[in-house]
């Protein structure tokens, strides 16, 4: 069985459709896991809803892990339900709500957000998916749910993954947009993967096939976001190199 872990979507619906099409051709989508941040910021949150529903209609297993923007959008919906005008809600969330409502996908999107909010940590055989990361000094079990969702190094800080010794197996995350997907190995085995490559900022949408140890990637259709520069991850001294296959298709 192939397990495809897909990075932060942020409403990039067309890129998701293209990545899933590539995955089908590569037979890499038997199980699909989304690392969170499904709908806000991008142009087609309704297409994200439809693509997830289509996967499930095909009989494929789909898992949703909670991202910080999923929680923010759920809170925005609660405020709207309480009578707060959309003009008084943060523009990113208000825009997503309007787009989903116009496309008659708001109810379905809310159902997916609620599902994601109930899954902060997804564990498999030798691997774990969280949105943000873990605190290496206390390990996966000692890391709070808040940090599993929100943990991100500030500019100039050392990312958590450079201090991770691999004791909790492979940790797969998004949340921190990088110029290229990150794969760190220790003793030849993958121990950290980050699949957030800033699709909504003009980068790319990336998935990682756990069993095959390879990336799938499509270029973003979004213009480069002014004032945003994705981080370039550096390998810590302990990280070992190894073959990484990337199947890419330009959008």
Read off the pLDDT of residues 4-15 as tens digits, 9 standing for 90 and up.
999 999 999 999
The three-class DSSP label of residue 71 is helix
What is the Cα–Cα distance from 34 to 36, expressed in whole angstroms? 6
Q: What is the mean pLDDT of residues 175-191?
A: 93
Q: Is the pLDDT of residue 245 over 80?
A: no
Tens digits of residue pLDDT in 168-181? 999 999 999 999 99
- Per the model's pLDDT, the better-predicted residue between 67 and 29 turns out to be 67
Quick one: which of 12, 19, 74, 57 has its CA closest to 39? Answer: 12
Residue 225 has pLDDT above 90, yes or no: no
Mutual angle of helices 106-117 and 45-57, in 10-degree steps: 70
Q: Where are the alpha helices (DSSP H) in the chain?
A: 13-25, 45-57, 68-81, 91-102, 106-117, 139-142, 145-150
Determine the Cα–Cα distance for residues 34 and 41; give it in Å rounded to an integer: 16
Where helices occur in 121-240 by DSSP H, the ranges are 139-142, 145-150
Q: Which residue did the predictor score with more confidence, 60 or 240?
A: 60
Tell me what the mean pLDDT of segment 229-239 comes to. Answer: 70
Average pLDDT over residues 205-227: 90
185 vs 158, 170, 173, 243, CA distance in Å? 17, 9, 15, 10
| Inter-residue long-range contacts of 20-23, CB under 8 Å, 24+ positions, other chains counted | 20/51, 20/55, 22/216, 22/218, 22/247, 22/249, 23/207, 23/216
Average pLDDT over residues 188-207: 95
3-state secondary structure of 116: helix
For residue 135, the Cα-to-chain-centroid distance in whole angstroms is: 19
Banded pLDDT at 38 (limits 50, 70, 90): very high
Q: pLDDT value at position 249?
A: 56
Kindly report, residue by residue over 145-168, the tens digit of the pLDDT: 999 999 999 888 899 999 999 999
Please give the mean pLDDT across all residues of the chain: 92
CA–CA gap between residue 200 and residue 108 (Å, rounded): 22
Contact 74, 113 (CB under 8 A): yes
251 pLDDT more than 50:
no
Q: How many helices (H) and strands (E) does the chain have?
A: 7, 11
- pLDDT-derived band at 144, boundaries 50, 70, 90: very high
Contact 173, 122 (CB under 8 A): no
pTM reported for the whole predicted model? 0.93
Q: Is residue 35 a contact partner of residue 196, using CB atoms and an 8 Å limit?
A: yes
Structural domains in the chain, CATH included, are: 3-249 (3.60.21.10)
């Amino acid at each position: 069985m192939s397990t495809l872990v897909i990075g932060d979507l942020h409403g990039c619906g067309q890129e998701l459709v293209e990545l899933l099409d590539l995955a089908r051709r590569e037979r890499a989508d038997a199980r699909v896991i989304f690392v969170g941040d499904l709908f806000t910021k991008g142009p087609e949150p309704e297409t994200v809803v439809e693509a997830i529903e289509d996967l499930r209609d095909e009989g494929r297993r789909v898992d949703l892990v909670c991202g910080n923007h999923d929680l923010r959008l759920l809170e925005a919906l609660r405020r709207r339900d309480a009578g707060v005008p959309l003009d008084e809600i943060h523009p990113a969330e208000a825009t997503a709500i309007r787009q989903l409502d116009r496309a008659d996908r708001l109810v379905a999107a809310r159902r997916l957000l609620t599902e994601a909010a109930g899954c902060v940590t997804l564990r498999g055989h030798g691997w774990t998916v969280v949105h943000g990361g873990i605190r290496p000094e206390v390990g996966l079990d000692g890391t709070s749910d808040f940090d599993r969702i929100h943990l991100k190094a500030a500019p100039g800080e050392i990312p958590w993954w450079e201090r991770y010794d691999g004791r909790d197996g492979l940790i797969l995350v998004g949340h921190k947009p990088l110029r290229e997907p990150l794969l760190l190995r220790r003793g030849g085995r993958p121990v950290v993967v980050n699949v957030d490559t800033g699709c909504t900022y003009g980068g790319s949408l990336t998935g990682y096939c756990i069993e095959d140890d390879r990336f799938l990637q499509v270029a973003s259709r979004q213009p480069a976001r002014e004032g945003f520069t994705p981080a370039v991850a550096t390998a810590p001294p302990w990280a070992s190199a190894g073959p990484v296959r990337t199947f890419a298709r330009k959008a």
